[in-house]
Structure 1
Amino acid sequence: MTAAPALELWGVRKEFGGQVAVDGVDLEVPEGSFFALLGPSGCGKTTTLRMVAGLEQPTAGAVSIGGRDVTGTPAHRRPVNTVFQSYALFPHLSVLQNVEFGLRRQRVPDARARALAGLQTVRLAHLADRRPAQLSGGQQQRIALARAIVNNPSVLLLDEPLGALDLALRRAMQLELKRIQAEAGLTFVHVTHDQEEAMTMADTVAVMNAGRIEQLGPPAELYELPRTPFVATFLGRSNLVAGTVVEGSGGVLGVEVAGARLQVPADRSAVSDGPVLLGVRPEKVRLSAQGEPPPSGSNVLGPGTVTDVSFTGVSTAYQVDLGALGVHEVFAQNTTGAPTSRPGDTVHLAWDVDFTFGLVPDAAAAS
């Protein structure tokens, strides 16, 4: 018998004064997984989290935790804990006392032992006697996390928990959170606007936009095969061009783009005829110098002019002006130790057909 998902939402909708914040969200979070709600500010991800926590009630739809409908259940009676961006630690209590605070209130008999075990999980047992003011931001975040996980919630909710940390510490904490989730075996639902954060930590990512889930799946799947222009441009970078499907055979579609003929695998395109938006990720594209034949089996666009070269160490980012098709990006690994093209060079862009994806046209994304 299959275990019930840790969290389910059915047609969840939330309105504030007639404005729709969340618009018919359905999702299922497997038990023991790391799930991320990813999207820009105002997309509805935090409101969705608050409805799971019981801090907001849905206008319509239902919320289930561990197979039990909790839609009308007050927040304090739900088997969840929430970790916010602000750590909300008690400054007058020690680290250990902060972690065991909730357990003491519930009169848990082994509160101190469980609190110490929680500190060991976040690798801060040696700081048990210190006060929060004596800790770094990253350490305070881990204390807040330990305080949440010792309650063994069915679902642990994380609302932008790393937003207050600097870049280097945030990246370190991404890996630490992933380790803690795997070790604790709890279900984490993490809200973030940071694409790298979601892709680094989550087993499954739901990309939200305008109150809806645009696409849901493993990070690699969303990145390699976006299904909407929004996902293609929000989750990483994409070069997009508008074209028209003019033929199809052998599982490949032929697309006319500004007089050039490009191809896209039929199973990588949301469109099989008529207008289509073709896309490719910048790191999949190669620069071919003027007069240099592109690799066989490639899609090719150009000629274009290199307008900017940015050396970043590991890679070089090129901006290439293709005239009516706009400016496109190419990310090249620095295997030779220096950029191979310079501003003003005439080049073609080439990439394997299998890296192309096709989307339903969206004027805003293509402009």
Structure 2
Amino acid sequence: MAQQAFAESGADLELSGITKRFPGFTAIEELDLTIPAGSFFALLGPSGCGKTTTLRLVAGLEEPTSGRILIGGKDVTASKPYQRPVNTVFQSYALFPHMTVLENVAFGLKRRGIRDAAGRAHEALRLVELDHVSGRKPAQLSGGQQQRVALARAVVNRPALLLLDEPLGALDLKLRRQMQLELKSIQSDVGLTFLHVTHDQEEAMTMADTVAVMNKGRIEQMGAPQELYELPATAFVANFLGQSNLFPGEAVSSSGDLLVVGTGGTRLSVPRERAQRHSGEVVIGVRPEKILLHSEEPDAVAGQNVLGPGRVVDVSFSGVSTQYQVAVPGLGTLVVFSQNLVYGSVVSLGAVVWLSWGVEHGFGLADDPASIEQPGRFVDDTDTSAIALQQRAALEAELDEA
């Protein structure tokens, strides 16, 4: 019943040509963004990228230098915060400590003279499964419960748009993961438009239908979480959403379905349809978990990229997987994630290994190789194919002697 009471559709949010300048720097530059009604949308990025400023502009807490903000087709650019069909849930719960849970949730309704404020507050608390603690004070609740009360207080006003500003940042890891699923479930139940601001990649990918990765006041890439992870368009996205092994090189062949790139004295292939650039200097990459480790050189198989020999220079156990860093002559240090299916590491520190991955797992970036800074992952400026081959020959000779 509580879900039905709040099942009112949200509203579209449109940002058109939004620029926000502060003295000495520009926080947001020419931002165009449309968020469909009823969607769960995440703005993801590092500190200082402009995501929180964007949220404050939508809430009316900041004024844009230029551009327009429309909610449900209505221009609210010049509207005061209280005139907008928007509510915000902050990282700090901002609950009144002297009031009960019910009084906290009903507070805004009573100030606006809404009839049956207590009844609507109970409905909101049932939605977040906390009606049984309605008579308690906030100090008597856990952090997760307080966050859900803050959410109920925002939802009870039935806004067209709910803004979430790092709402789970104060919670411990286990509780944060639990709340991620609960927030997604509540959003699906009530049908409101959620705009969630976070720097936590897992949080954004777990909850949001669409993720926009922000960098330096601009949206670097936007799409479904799986799409962004599996097919990043830029080095920033590839390394902000997880980790990536990136290889700059020269496109030596681009016929048929494959793009072949010469890099570090070897050749690697990637599907043409998964590459942003197909000629000249390019950057291709692969995620660490897509790579397989081999203690012996694998046979050449169509559809497989093979690198090696390389040496394991670091082994880090992380629970579900083990991270290996493998130094490959001519290519720097690559990262490999191996799922822990057996006790202990698959290979030991100092071991000589080969690496392979399916061509279909690779991707090609839009970046110019010269614009990317990735110490330890790229061929050094002084490196050439001849030097790479010499390094590989030296390692192979060392292996033979052993």
- Name the TM tier (shorter chain): over 0.9
Instruction: Compute the displacement of 1:41 (Å).
Output: 0.2
2:287 partner amino acid:
R
Q: Does 1:137 align with 2:146?
A: no
Q: CA-atom RMSD, angstroms?
A: 1.5
Matched with 1:363 is 372
Correspondence 1:87-98 to 2 at 5 A:
87-98=93-104
Q: Does 1:159 align with 2:165?
A: yes
1:314-338: CA deviation from partner (whole Å, max 9, x where unpaired): 2221111113322111111222343
Contact 2:250 2:281 in 1 (8 A): yes
Give the SS at the match of 1:313: coil
Of 218, 229, 237, which residue of structure 2 is paired with 1:223? 229
1:27 partner amino acid:
L
CA distance in 2, matches of 1:308, 1:87: 42
Contact 1:4 1:67 in 2 (8 A): no
CA distance in 2, matches of 1:350, 1:119: 52
| Percentage identity across paired residues of the two chains | 60
Matched with 1:249 is 255
Matched with 1:322 is 328
Matched with 2:296 is 290
Q: Does 1:311 align with 2:320?
A: no
1:51 partner amino acid:
L
Contact 1:295 1:350 in 2 (8 A): no
CA distance in 2, matches of 1:199, 1:318: 25
1:176-195: CA deviation from partner (whole Å, max 9, x where unpaired): 11111111111110000000
Contact 1:294 1:350 in 2 (8 A): no
Instruction: Compute the displacement of 1:5 (Å).
Output: 5.6
Paired residues, number: 365
CA distance in 2, matches of 1:295, 1:147: 59
Runs of 5+ consecutive residues of structure 1 not aligned to the other structure:
none
User: Normalising by structure 2, what TM-score?
Assistant: 0.88
Correspondence 1:72-91 to 2 at 5 A:
72-91=78-97
Instruction: Compute the displacement of 1:167 (Å).
Output: 1.2
C-alpha change, 1:295 and 1:136, in structure 2 (3 Å) is: farther
Instruction: Compute the displacement of 1:344 (Å).
Output: 1.2
C-alpha change, 1:5 and 1:303, in structure 2 (3 Å) is: farther
Of 31, 52, 61, which residue of structure 2 is paired with 1:25? 31
Contact 1:153 1:186 in 2 (8 A): yes
Contact 1:41 1:193 in 2 (8 A): yes
- Misfit runs of 4+, over 4 Å: none
1:321-360: CA deviation from partner (whole Å, max 9, x where unpaired): 1133221111112223432211111111111111111112
1:45-93: CA deviation from partner (whole Å, max 9, x where unpaired): 0000000001001111111101111111111100000011111101111
Deviates more, 1:304-313 or 1:169-178: 304-313
Give the SS at the match of 1:93: coil
1:188 partner amino acid:
F
2:14 partner amino acid:
E
Give the SS at the match of 1:324: coil
2:166 partner amino acid:
E
Give the SS at the match of 1:221: helix
1:200-250: CA deviation from partner (whole Å, max 9, x where unpaired): 110000000000000000000000000010000000110111111011111
Of 203, 212, 216, which residue of structure 2 is paired with 1:210? 216
Give the SS at the match of 1:104: helix
Q: Which has the larger radius of gyration?
A: 2
Runs of 5+ consecutive residues of structure 2 not aligned to the other structure:
1-8, 379-402
1:346 partner amino acid:
V
2:29 partner amino acid:
D
1:130 partner amino acid:
R
Instruction: Compute the displacement of 1:34 (Å).
Output: 0.6
Q: Does 1:108 align with 2:117?
A: no
CA distance in 2, matches of 1:304, 1:243: 19
CA distance in 1, matches of 2:298, 2:254: 29
Give the SS at the match of 2:285: strand
CA distance in 2, matches of 1:85, 1:190: 11
CA distance in 1, matches of 2:300, 2:95: 59
Deviates more, 1:109-118 or 1:329-338: 329-338
CA distance in 1, matches of 2:170, 2:320: 27
User: Normalising by structure 1, what TM-score?
Assistant: 0.96
Matched with 1:334 is 340
CA distance in 2, matches of 1:20, 1:323: 42
Q: Does 1:11 align with 2:20?
A: no
